[in-house]
Amino acid sequence: MNFQLTEEQLAVQHAARDFAKNDLLPGVIERDTEQKFPKEQIKKMGELGFLGMMVDPKYNGGGMDTISYVLAMEEISKVDASASVCMSVNNSLVCWGLEKFGTEEQKEKYLKRLATGEAIGAFCLSEPEAGSDATSQRTTAEDKGDHYILNGTKNWITNGNSASIYIVIAQTDIAKKHKGINALIVEKGMPGFVVGKKEDKMGIRGSDTHSLMFTDVKVPKANRIGDDGFGFTFAMTTLNGGRIGIASQALGIAAGAYELALAYSKERKAFGKTLSEHQAIQFKLADMATKIDAARLLVHQAAWLKDQKKDFVKAAAMAKLYASQIAQDVTTEAVQIHGGYGYVKEFHVERLMRDAKITQIYEGTTEIQKMVISRELLK
């Protein structure tokens, strides 16, 4: 593994940093308070190529490596995790899954639009009674010959209302259990498809998280991804890659909070000297910086393994497990270093602390990551 970033990777990192500073930072507090989806900012992300970074250029993508993707995710997550989760889902779960497993017709019809941000994608797996236990799908896709009839409810769907292309995981043959699950491409506007209420969340409040309801939705069989019964394997394989995106999001949240705390510690004075001159604060900063560097190494290792087409399942789970934990630790300490100011919105760190928690829950909880890691170790 080469620790030296290429010129192209550095250019991507700098472009993401500039975009975050110039386009995302203004208004980020208001968007969080008002639960406002960053529509214009996401549109510009598409124009800059951040929504289809790893997609082959023949499908309008950037053709970049996973390292470039996680570098951009980190920079954007430092400022606005609501924008970065939209970026992560579109890149890791929707575009990647479609490019790897979709038909040529599906790629032409859907992937080209998703890669440019002309269309936004959503990944629909979770249900009221199927969160971590993804095998317990209650949403059904009844085989009707040349089409499926889709019925059910999905919960906690990122980009729930802003998306126009949805990958829905549904049960076709309950007797086959997880081998009877399919992945279907559903378009917004199909009769019987309704977007439900928006969730009032603790963090990533700018991200539009909705429930979705499907009532006798007719989905062409041409919209099925892979062979009959491939849906569960599709979902689990796609989530393995998605964990790298969420790990880089957690890393970015932590790094953003650390940078704010470091700068504040050099300005704020207490007992006749700056906070950074107090050993107690120095030790906090040392611990924060060490944890962030360790998390970054895990994230980059997982991304590198994926780029080398090596087995990255364990590495991705480790990266998400550790990065999400240090995001909690570092953002909490950032609030502590800011003292009373850390508890008010103006200084940003309280928002980052709220945003950090979800990284331990979505795309596989902390407990699920430990199950994945231990299973890989005991093979």
For 242-299, write each residue's pLDDT tens digit: 999 999 999 999 999 999 999 999 999 999 999 999 999 999 999 999 999 999 999 9
**pLDDT, tens digit (0-9, with 9 covering 90-100), for 54-104:** 999 999 999 999 999 999 999 999 999 999 999 999 999 999 999 999 999
Question: What proportions of the chain, in percent to the nearest 5, are helix, strand and coil?
Answer: 60, 15, 25
CA 56 to chain centroid, in Å, comes to 20
Per the prediction, the chain carries an average pLDDT of 96
194 pLDDT more than 90: yes
Neighbouring CB atoms inside 10 A of 3's CB total 6
Q: What one-letter code names the amino acid at 45?
A: M
Q: Do 122-229 and 233-377 show the same overall fold? A: no
Q: Give the end-to-end CA distance of the chain in Å, rounded to a whole number.
A: 25
Task: From the options 3.40.462.40, 1.10.540.10, 3.40.50.2300, 2.40.30.20, give the CATH code of 7-120.
Answer: 1.10.540.10
Q: What is the CATH number of domain 122-229?
A: 2.40.110.10
Active-site residue 363, yes or no? Answer: yes
343 pLDDT more than 90: yes
What is the pLDDT averaged over residues 199-212?
A: 97
Predicted pLDDT of residue 1: 65
Catalytic residue among 118, 363, 367, 376: 363
Q: Count the residues in the chain.
A: 379
pTM: predicted TM-score of the whole model, two decimal places? 0.96
**pLDDT, tens digit (0-9, with 9 covering 90-100), for 169-181:** 999 999 999 999 9
95/73 Cα distance (integer angstroms): 16
Would you say domain 233-377 falls under CATH 1.20.140.10? Answer: yes
The band of 305, judged by pLDDT with boundaries at 50, 70 and 90, is: very high
What is the pLDDT averaged over residues 319-333?
A: 98
Neighbouring CB atoms inside 10 A of 228's CB total 15
Phi, psi of 366 (to 5 degrees): -55, -40
List all residues 6 or more positions away from 148 whose beta carbon is below 8 Å from its beta carbon: 141, 142, 170, 172, 182, 184, 218, 219, 221, 224
What is the pLDDT averaged over residues 27-37?
A: 97
- Give me the residue spans of the domains in the chain: 7-120, 122-229, 233-377
Which segments within 159-236 are labelled E, that is strand?
A: 165-171, 181-187, 193-198, 209-220
Helix (H) or strand (E) holding 356: helix 349-358
129 pLDDT more than 90: no
Using DSSP, how many helices (H) and how many strands (E) does the chain show? 13, 9
242/73 Cα distance (integer angstroms): 12
Cβ pair 141, 150 in contact under 8 A: yes
Predicted pLDDT of residue 306: 97
Q: Which of 54, 153, 123 is nearest to 364 (CA)?
A: 123
Q: Which of 303, 327, 319 is nearest to 369 (CA)?
A: 319
CA distances from 273 to 169, 205, 263, 270, 288 (A): 58, 37, 15, 6, 21
